[in-house]
Structure 1
């Protein structure tokens, strides 16, 4: 029987206060992992901790502003101290800014890149080094449909998510012999606050829905199975892959 059980494992999940990050933290805790839930502000993961406790799971909270790279470095150190050993890293924390390319502010570009890309690399670097010394682990990056396409009025987000897909491959190449599997999940159009502007745009929402063979927008819980698979020994021979969980969007 393939082993999806995560008992005895410790996971660090960034952006775990709500939405996709909260769902991923819950799924890993439900599979038996102790989850260190990270948010941008202190106390931000209280609701997530309550939800994990309600299902009998184990979790602790931690906080760091992912746009502050010193705070990101401290987050890695603190998480290792809390967990003693980090077996699973989920780089989920992210941000988005919408503006036409001709008017896109440089500071907004830099903010998106710091949170979505720089923080993911620095955490992977620190936790990856830790995993190498502890005989391996799993790193799961959260990519996007915009890892494959260009989108509209989100040039920084699109660039960062293309880069996440590339970083996933690069780290998988370097760390495969150290028993570290690096993969990504590309959520489809999921009902979260990040996609609220698209959901509220009747024309754009209809266009998106018409391209989804499943016939509906995704829910955050739709990502749970992919997360547990990529975090468990069931995926020991899967690395460098970006798994789309999109209701068939990319196939149409």
Structure 2
């Protein structure tokens, strides 16, 4: 049975596509192929913009299978039955609702097509990774994603600080972490730093060169993959 990992945040541009592709690559590199030679990992795109599909199509070698599920709500319930060990799902952002609308009972995911798709995906998710930037305009959408969507559904989640430019100073990371921890959210120790090689869209981290910069860029995703695996195992122990 496949483990389904969602990347989710109401805000666009926080790195859901980047993380889903690179975590898929690290998982595929670690798990190896299935006995039939096919990949044991898939990256699924539920985003109508298709950013992860576009990036995957530019890869010279795809270490995972790529699935377009953006128009396939009916079959989302079958994700776990697909022949993969892990499926990383890139999801779209969605429109904001007001606190008054939420209090009045409006679905925070909205009632349009992609709200229905997101709801179905959350029902299948083993866990959710919530990227956040070290920029205040990503704080409120992240809060809404977690407090209005994930926590009411009791979906395990972890916040990861993404796309941090180290030249701006560690204070931005510390402030973002303090915001998250102040709300009692689990936050990854790993911080994914901003590197130009991440944005050139022709490689995933397992295909980076062995030079200093690309090794550093790759390190963040391998560290986060290890940390994510440890968190998942700990959560299973608590449940059992």
Q: TM-score if structure 1 supplies the norm length?
A: 0.47
Higher RCO (CA 8 Å, separation ≥ 6 residues):
2
Q: TM-score if structure 2 supplies the norm length?
A: 0.48
